[in-house]
Structure 1
Amino acid sequence: MSGLRHQDKVALITAATDGIGYAIAERLGKEGAKVVISSRKQKNVDAAVNNLRQQGIEVMGLVCHVGKKEHREALIQETVAKYGGIDILVSNAAVNPVYGPMLKVTTEEAWDKIFDINVKASFFLVKSAMPYMKNRKGASVILVSSIGGFTPDKSLGAYSTSKTAMFGLVKNLAVECAEFGVRVNGLAPGLIKTRFSKQLWDGRESEAVGFSIPLGRIGLPEDCGAVVSFLASDDAAFVVGENIVAAGGQLSRL
C-alpha cells in the first residue's frame, strides 16, 4: 500500500456493501479518500458504513438501485452536495438472474435485466457524474466487468455477453472523457471469493487448478481493491481505455 495517495479525493462506489465493492471502498478509504458507498438495502448500507468508520475512514452511505434513474441521480447529487464533486467513480453493480446454457435458460426479461444493470446503468451513471468530475485533477472512472467477457462460461452466457459489452463501453467512454481530463479504465476480475460468485466456488476453495488459475488460488476482493486503487492513482496517469484483468493468470482474450 502506497500511503495516502488518495488523500482528500472523493470516491463514489456502487454495490459497495460487501465483496469487491466493499474491498474497493475500504482500500480507497485507507489511502485517504472520502468514500460514498451504495447498495439496494438500507441495512446493508448501515452495516458497511459502520465497519468502515471503525477503521477511521470518512464514509457516507446511500441506498441506490442503479437500475432506477431517480436513484442514480440522487446518488450523484447527494455526493456532490456533501463533498463538492467526484474524483473517483467506480461502477461495480451487476446482476445475473439466470444460470445455465444461454439458449435454454435466458428469457427476454432476464436479458433486459442483465443489460439494464450491467451496461446501461454504468453508462448513465458516468454520464450523470461527468459534469462533476471534468477538469478535476486526476479524476478517474473504473468500470468493473469480468474475465467472463473475455472467456465465456457456458452457464453464464448472457452475463458474459454483457461484460464483453462493458469492454467496449470502457473504450468509447475513455476517448470522450479524456477530453475532460478524466481517465476511464476497466477492471475484469477472474474468480473472486465473494457472495455473488458463491455458486461457482462454494465447497471448491482448494480447487484452483480445476479453475485453470496458474497462481494456484481463488482471488480475494482485496486483490480487486488494489487494482482499482492503482488505476485511480497518479501512478496510472497515462493508463486510459484499458481493461485490466485480475485473474491469477487465467487466459483472457477476445
Structure 2
Amino acid sequence: MSSSGIQQKGVLANRVAVVTGATDGIGFAIARRLAQDGAHVVVSSRKQQNVDRAVAVLQGEGLSVTGTVCHVGKAEDRERLVATVQEHCGGADFLVCNAAVNPLVGSTLGADVGVWDKDWVSRTRAEILTPTVRVPCRIGQPEDCAGIVSFLCSPDASYITGENIVVAGFSPRL
C-alpha cells in the first residue's frame, strides 16, 4: 500500500525513512513521528495484516507511508524491502531498525518476547520502578523514543556523532 499526493512539510520533508518492526510499539511510534515530521515512511513487519493495519492507520492520519512485509532475518525479504523503497521512493535517507532501539524485540539471536505476558511485565515494571522514578513519575511509552529518533534523523543533529543517548526517564539509585 502506498500514499500519493500528500504534501510533505516539516523538518524531515522530502526525506525517506525505512522503519523495520514498524507495526506496533516503539517501531510504530517512530514511524508515526517520522511521518508527522515530514518524511515519507516505509513501514515493514513480518505479517502482511500487520503492515496493512499500520499503513491504514497512518494514512488515515494523513501521513505519507508505504508498507511491505519484511522479516529482517531473511535475505530475500531484505532485498524485497530495498526494491520497494527504490520503486516507490527512489532510495532511503534513513533506516531505523527496531533492533537498534529495542534489542529484545528486534534481536537477531531469535529472542521471542512473545512468550512474556505483556500485562505482567507492565505491572511488574510499574511496581518495581515507580518508587525509584525521579521524573517524570511514569512508565515510559513508545512515543518517548520516537522524538529522539526523529531528532537524530533531522538536520538539527548533524553535529552529533558516536553518542549513546539513553531514553530512560530516570536513573535509579543503587
Aligned match of 1:213: 133
CA offset digits 1:155-182 (Å, max 9, x no partner): xxxx9xxxxxxxxxxxxxxxxxxxxxxx
SS at structure 2 position matched to 1:79: helix
TM-score by length of 1: 0.56
Evaluate the alpha carbon distance shift between residue 237 and residue 114 of structure 1 in structure 2; reply closer, same or farther with a 3 A threshold: closer
Structure-2 residue corresponding to 1:40? 46
Q: Distance in 2 between matches of 1:73 and 1:250?
A: 40
**Deviations 1:227-246, CA, capped at 9 Å, x for gaps:** 10111111110111222100
Deviation, structure 1 residue 248: 0.5
Asked if structure 2 preserves the Cα contact closer than 8 Å seen for 1:67 and 1:117, the reply is no
Aligned to 2:78: 72
* Code of the aligned partner of 2:168: A
Q: Percent identity?
A: 45
- Structure 1 segment 1-254 matched on structure 2, within 5 A: 4-93=10-99, 96=104, 114-116=107-109, 198-202=119-123, 205=126, 208-210=129-131, 212-215=132-135, 216-250=137-171
- Give RMSD over aligned pairs: 2.8
Q: Which amino acid aligns with 1:82?
A: H
Higher RCO (CA-CA < 8 Å; seq separation 6+): 2
* Cα 1:196–1:33 shift into 2, 3 Å: farther
CA deviation digits over 1:171-223, x for unaligned, max 9? Answer: xxxxxxxxxxxxxxxxxxxxxxxx9965421366476424x332121111111
> TM-score under structure 2 normalisation?
0.79
Deviation at 1:117, TM superposition (A): 5.6
Q: CA deviation at 1:82?
A: 1.1
Change (3 A) 1:39 1:10: same
Which range moved further: 15-24 or 85-94?
85-94
Query: Contact 1:67–1:116 (CA<8 Å) still a contact in 2?
Result: no
Q: Give, in whole Å, the separation in 2 of the partners of 1:117 and 1:9.
A: 32
The CA distance in 1 between the partners of 2:85 and 2:117, in whole Å, is 26
Residues 36 and 115 (structure 1 numbering): CA distance in 2 closer, same or farther, change over 3 Å? closer
State the Cα distance separating 1:74 from its structure 2 match: 1.2
